[in-house]
Structure 1
Amino acid sequence: MSVHIVYEVRLLLYSFATGAGLMMTYDFLRILRIFIPHLPVIMGVEDMVYWIYASLVTFSLLYEQNDGGLRGYVIAGVFIGMFLYDRLISRFFLKFLKNTWKYLRMKLDKCFRRRKKRQR
């Protein structure tokens, strides 16, 4: 196989991995929002900082791997990596965390109610 084709395929795989990594980073924001409620203004600032971070990561991918040349398939690969991570991993992981958090809160509330009854 040609060296150029191998390079392009590797670049595409890097772009998929970058997209998945960016979605994983956004999942950390989502998890933070599950456990600590945020005001809408704070969530907007967090999102803005995230997208600035995402653009810098994507730019650094293009700069380091492609000498700064803009390639449409690399940008598409980042979005496809984000999409695939969101559909295949993130949805189930976040649903599991939300259900676990609800279960824990329910058990803690029940425990605290019992303590209050004993103290009366």
Structure 2
Amino acid sequence: MSVHIVYEVKLLLYSFFTGAGLMMTYDLLRIFRIFIPHTYVFTGIEDMIYWVYAALVTFSLLYEQNDGGLRGYVIAGIFLGMFLYDRLVSRFFLKSLKNLQKYLKMKMHKWIRPKGRQ
């Protein structure tokens, strides 16, 4: 196989894993929001900071791996990595965390409730 084709396949894999990593980072932000509720203003600010971060990560991938040249398949690979991570991992992980949060709230409510009021 040609050296150029191997390079392009590696770049596509890097972009795929970059997209999955970006979604993993956003999941950490979601987890933070599950356990510490936010107002809409703070949620918007956090999202804006995240998207600036995502843009910088994407730019650095393009800059370091492709000398800043924009390639459509790299952007598609990032979006595909984000999409697949969201559909295959994130949904189940966040659903289980929300269930854990509900369970912990119920247990804490039992512990905090005075003994005379049952």
Q: TM-score range by the shorter chain?
A: over 0.9
Residue in structure 2 matched with residue 74 of structure 1 by the alignment: 74
Runs of 4+ in 1 over 6 A off after TM superposition: none
- Counterpart of 2:46 in structure 1 is 46
Structure 1 equivalent of residue 36 of structure 2: 36
Aligned counterpart, 2:97: 97
Q: Spell out, residue by residue over 1:19-58, the C-alpha distance to the aligned partner (whole angstroms, 9 max, x if none).
A: 0000000001100000000000000000000000000000
1:14 is aligned to: 14
* TM-score relative to the length of structure 2: 0.96
Compute the displacement of 1:15 (Å): 0.2
Look up the equivalent residue of 1:58 and give its one-letter code.
T
* Partner Cα separation in structure 2 for residue 87 and residue 33 of structure 1: 20
* TM-score, normalised relative to structure 1: 0.95
d(CA) in 2 for partners of 1:46, 1:80: 23
Secondary structure of the 2:41 match is: helix
Aligned residue pairs, count: 117
Q: Percent identity?
A: 78
Distance 1:55 1:111 in 2: 45
Q: Cα offset for 1:110?
A: 1.1
Cα-to-partner distance string for 1:40-81 (whole Å, 9 max, x where unaligned): 000000000000000000000000000000000000100000
Name the Cα RMSD after superposition: 1.1
In the TM superposition, residue 117 of structure 1 has moved relative to its aligned partner by: 2.1
How big is the shift at 1:103?
0.5
Q: What is the rounded CA distance, in whole Å, between the counterparts of 2:24 and 2:9 in structure 1?
A: 23
In structure 2, the gaps of 5 or more residues are none
